Amino acid sequence: MKFTVSWLKDHLETTATTDEIVAAMTMAGLEVEEVIDPGAKLAAFSVAKIVEAVQHPNADRLRVCQVDTKDGRKEIVCGAPNARAGLVTIYAPIGAYVPGIGVTLEARPVRGVVSNGMLCSGAELEVDGDADGILELDLKLAVGTPAAQALGVADAVIDFEVTPNRPDWLGVAGIARDLAAAGVGRLTTRGVTPAPARIVSPVRVATEDESACPVFAARLVRGVRNGPSPAWLQQRLKAIGIKPRSALVDITNFLCFDRARPLHVYDAAKLKGVVRARLGKAGESFAALDGKTYAVTPEMCVIADDNGVLGLGGVIGGESSGCSEQTTDVLIESALFDPLRIFQTGRATGINTDARYRFERGVDPGFIVPGLDLATRMVLELCGGLASEEMVAGKIPGPPAPVIFDLDRVRTLAGLDVKPPRVRAILKALGFESEAHEGSFAKRIIVQPPSWRSDVQGRADIVEEVARIEGYDKLPANDPPRATGYRAPAASVGESRARIARRALAGAGYLECVTWSFCEKKHAALFGGGAEALLLANPIASDLDCMRPSALPNLLRAAQRNLDRGHGDALLFEAGPAWTGADETGQSRTVAAIRQPRPQRHWQGAPAPDLYAMKRDCMLVLSAIGAPMTALMAGPAAAPWQHPGRGGSLKIGNRVVAAFGDVHPRILAGLDVDGPALAFEIFVDLLPPPRAKATREKPALEKIDLMPLSRDFAFVVDDAVAAADLVRAAYGADKTLIEDVALFDVYRGPGVAEGKKSLAIEVRLQPREKTLADAEIEAVSSKIVASVAKATGGVLRG
Amino acid sequence: MSDLATLEADLSARIVAATDEASLDAIRVDALGKQGAISGLMKTLGTMSPEERQAMGPKLNGLKDRIGEAIVTKKAQLAEAALEAKLAAEKVDASLPPPAVRTGAIHPVSHVMEELARIFGEMGFALEEGPDIETDFHNFTALNFPPKHPARDMHDTFFLNATDEMGQRKVLRTHTSPVQVRTMLKQKPPIRMICMGRTYRKDSDATHTPMFHQIEGLVIDEVTTMADLKGTLMAFIKAYFEIDDVRVRFRPHHFPFTEPSAEMDVGCDRSGGSVRIGTGDDWLEILGCGMVHPNVLRACGLDPEVYQGYAFGMGVDRLATLKYGMPDLRDYFAADVRWLKHYGFSPYLLPGLAGGL
């Protein structure tokens, strides 16, 4: 919403500067976005009068002038052909910055004569394009008058954000009311005296749908002359960027901004029959004032006569009934429309008008008729004619319901101590009526909000009004309460685990990414996602149309983007959500990591990053976040993205809690990512929560002083046997003595039959009560061999 | 020179000349071994007269001790020389690079979220969580958004094909406020909570991305006022920006879910291209807040005649920008390794009061 300070002063008597007005607006909740002060750059300039102008002794085209200025009489050298005695013009003192020529004035001789300032042309001040001579102003202007005022550009334009609850701020009078309440000045908005009815309107109005158009009021003025509007009115509109058209149209625009009252004027000669608000009919269309033709739908509220649709009520008028210079009889419409329908019609048609903007936010139902009367008065004043009676179709809604208000509520809700008389004074200034509530010992009042404040529905709204005008700067700041006892940390199990996982992976060299929660549907499908329920109905881009089933596709695509820029060997992870469904259980917390490896080069030789490195990092995270490591079972590749032969999973019971390995080449091709690529993914929510214990005490350390000992075994097993099964079998052979089993060699080749492999393990035994005798060690060894044989069919390598 | 003197001189010379332990050992055998020269002379003592023995005994024992000692000394010298030679032979170029260790980093959003959790945790706020895919009720209706509010429009909010029990399309939460709703629905006051996470709006430019992060706080009891809100937020700003003195300004504003509502500005200095919080005469809008709207309390099953409290919300990404730089929000989600390495945080840096935030 834009307005000028001089327009504001039509409604507010104030001595406040623009800066003070802006500050008061900000603190009253009118968030100023921009102040354009065209007079600011002219601050140094003022009106001066040439007393004498004589030929410069050393230059034909220059004159030496004696000039009366605000700084006294000055000798100024001037090259303008029109510099002459008696001329009233604009003077720039030494030190002034002249915007049109980009120069700061210095006192220096011009052909031997020192010029103590400058007399300015319009171009030099950037006020009009005339560069031929210095400005010639009204001879009556007093010397020293600020240039901005003398040139009529003194008016600052203020642009501010109107919050949706305050459509009354879409009129200058409404702004003035709040500023007056805030103590900036005195509200001077005049009441409306209806113009008497001299004729009976030949045109009748009606509303056929009182939900779409609750009120349709109109007056007809006969015998108008519709020429250009007066200069003051044109200037008001031009200052806020509205093009003056004709007196009738300018009046409607003026009141739209002056009183937040949208109006429409029809050339009554072009109307046929009753003018009615009704819902549109399929197949109807009309040519609007913006030059376009719009099809009408049954959802839209139209204004129509017997010839058909005249316009979209509250949105835009039609060409057929528009006013022109030939208009002699005008029908002035002041109506009320359903905000929601206006919003939908506006959005469907793409029409943004000042009327739509106001109707969709809600206009003051109490000002439908006064607004009509005010418009009629202006038409009579500016265009002449005779006014008809008021025609009001529909029922004017009443003001908001009264609110019973405890005067102490400002203190108990806002923490601001405002005395009761002040509370009532603020409310009165804002247009709220209040009276004591019976039997409440003056602690309680009944507040009647004004008709333009439909946003006020309860006590909290009243508190805001009082606190806002009293000033939020007066709000005390209470220190936050200190802890009086134990406070649980601001964390959840899942969030704590995510924090630890981030540290673990960043410590292992991975860069944490945060990528979109969405991905492309076809990419989602590669990872088992892309279900209909998880598609966005209105994606922002076609490649972001689906909730991701995993962070992996986004990470892999990111790795490729980095590679394409010359930054390969990406090691990326994300600790974030993934979706299997749209209900509350469909979102899970995951840790996903990828590597698009490049052969490693080191002068000592370096192992190629492979799935075992990914498995290590996966297990590093699992261990760090408290997964039950000894309960994890090795399983085959389980996720759709996995290479079937080069990956695995880690399970607790039947649940896959993590998967790792090479990314399937087909998946990479589908993502358009260069292979090979490695990945792992951990489903954090599937891990059991930490066991709740009564204390934080750790179990006592079992420290056995007997020397542990190791024995190596090599088993020949079928190639298909999973090493983890053999290790597990060995481990399980004696749960008291066997402390650890480490697999240290895998061998295929001479000495081992085709289709077989040799797996070598080192078993560490921890004697518990006494040193083990050879026979006892032998017994454990036999149990290991038997257990491995049973589980895997493996036999000791001869 | 006597025979003994000749023998000693000869052995001593050989010891000095010995170059390794083997030759030294040969000398020892030659002199002190069972068949050695000195051992042989010692054996002759038994055949001597007491007088001769008296004279020769000490001489022979002295010779034996001196030679033995010389051998031990020489042996130690040889061992030392051998070690020196071995060490010299083992020399490598220690300036060669070690095996590579990659440096990872934590995303600024994660780091800032931990800082926030830390600060609000110390003020007694518990962390609550909720899903990103929300129902119309939790995201809008319970928060007093009127039906068909512009925020509910397809132009502003992401909708899913999935629908809720009411048959309404599910939405990607446009703020973390539905977590407040969920908390009020499940828990009786007093409530003192924060929630953080991903939020979504249909926007895309340098300062708006379709996904971003928010933190919100909620306090509900019977006495909390806007003055408590202001004090808590001031304490937060001081803690987060690590400044002692901070100018803040509450400005009236409008949100559907709070009444009275405010926006908070912090004092800042914009001279010199960057924004410095806490100094200067300029203002920077930093968050929205207010007293929870009675309609919101009612929708969450709380009696507004009994309970009241405040809520606030702010953009995590924006807080990160204000403290650490990183002007273009789109970069946050682009996973560009150059950006991640440059703006990311060391995993060893723990946000907390003990080590600074």
Alpha-carbon distance values, A514 to A16, A108, B314, B348 (Å): 50, 64, 19, 20
pLDDT score of B294? 97
What is the bridge-based pairing of β-strands A587-595 and A633-636?
A: unpaired
Place B3 in a pLDDT band, splitting at 50, 70 and 90: confident
Task: Determine whether the interchain pair A584/B131 forms a contact, defined as Cβ–Cβ distance below 8 Å.
Answer: yes
Buried (b) or exposed (e) across A759-770, using 16+ Cβ within 10 A?
Answer: bebebebbbeee
pLDDT: is A433 or A486 the higher one? A433
A145-154, A363-372, A430-439, range with greatest mean pLDDT: A363-372
Cβ separation A413–B124 shorter than 8 A: no
Residue boundaries of the structural domains of chain B:
2-90, 108-343
Cβ of B107 and A532 within 8 Å?
no
Size of the A and B interface in Cβ pairs below 8 Å: 265
Instruction: Quote the tokens at residue B189.
Output: 């006051």
Count CA atoms within 13 Å of residue A574 on its CB side: 23
Share of chain B above pLDDT 70, in %: 98
Strand segments (E) across B81-183 = 126-128, 133-134, 159-163, 169-172
Q: How many CB atoms lie within 10 A of CB A621?
A: 26
Name the band, by pLDDT with cuts 50, 70 and 90, for residue B356.
very low
pTM: 0.86
Per mean pLDDT, which range of A499-503, B48-52, B334-338 is the poorest? B48-52
pLDDT of the residue at A132:
77
How far, CA to CA in Å, does B28 sit from each of A553, B2, B43?
79, 21, 17
Of the partner residues B198, B202, B333, the one whose CB lies closest to the CB of residue A538: B202
Query: Which residues 573-592 of chain A have a CB within 8 Å of chain B?
Result: 575-577, 579, 581-584, 586-587
Closest residue, chain A, to B151 (C-alpha): A164
The answer to whether B240 faces chain A, any CB pair under 8 Å, is no
Q: What is the pLDDT of residues A661-712, one digit of tens each?
A: 999 999 999 999 998 999 999 999 999 998 888 888 888 998 899 999 999 9
Any CB–CB contact under 8 A between A164 and chain B? yes
Once rounded to an integer, what is the mean pLDDT over residues B122-151? 91
The token pair that represents B230 in the structure block: 């202001």
Say if residues A559 and A676 touch (Cβ distance below 8 Å): no
Summarised one tens digit per residue, pLDDT across range A415-429 is: 999 999 999 999 999
pLDDT of residue A440: 64
Residue B48 CB: number of other CB atoms within 10 A?
13
* Domain spanning B108-343, CATH class: alpha beta
Q: What is the pLDDT of residue A131?
A: 67
**Other beta carbons within 10 Å of B303:** 9
Average pLDDT, integer, range A104-112 = 83
pLDDT tens for each residue of B138-189: 999 999 998 777 778 777 899 999 998 888 899 999 999 999 999 999 999 9
Residue among B306, B317, B251, B342 nearest B110 (CA): B317
pLDDT tens figures, B78-92: 999 999 999 999 999
State mean pLDDT over B294-304: 97
Q: Among all chains, which residue has been given the structure tokens 């840096």?
A: B349
**Rounded CA gap, B16 and B35, in Å?**
22
Q: Which of A463-472, A635-644, B152-161 has the lowest mean pLDDT?
A: B152-161
B positions 27-46 inside 8 Å of A (CB): none
More confident position, A438 or B182:
B182
Q: Which of B156, B152, B162, B222 is CA-nearest to residue B191?
A: B222
Structure ipTM: 0.89
* pLDDT tens digits for range A578-596: 999 999 899 999 999 999 9
Chain A, 7-26: which have a CB under 8 Å from a chain B CB? 26
Among A150-159, A384-393, B323-332, the least confident range: A150-159
Q: B355 pLDDT exceeds 60? A: no
> Facing residues of A579 across strands?
A587
**Alpha carbon distance A304, A588 (integer Å):** 56
**Predicted pLDDT of residue B354:** 45
B238 touches chain A (CB under 8 A): no
Q: What's the one-letter identity of residue A311? A: G
- What's the pLDDT tens digit per position in A273-303? 999 999 999 999 999 999 999 999 999 999 9
- Averaged pLDDT, A537-562: 96
Of B114, B294, B341, which is closest to A460 when you measure between CB atoms?
B294
- Give the pLDDT score at A130: 62
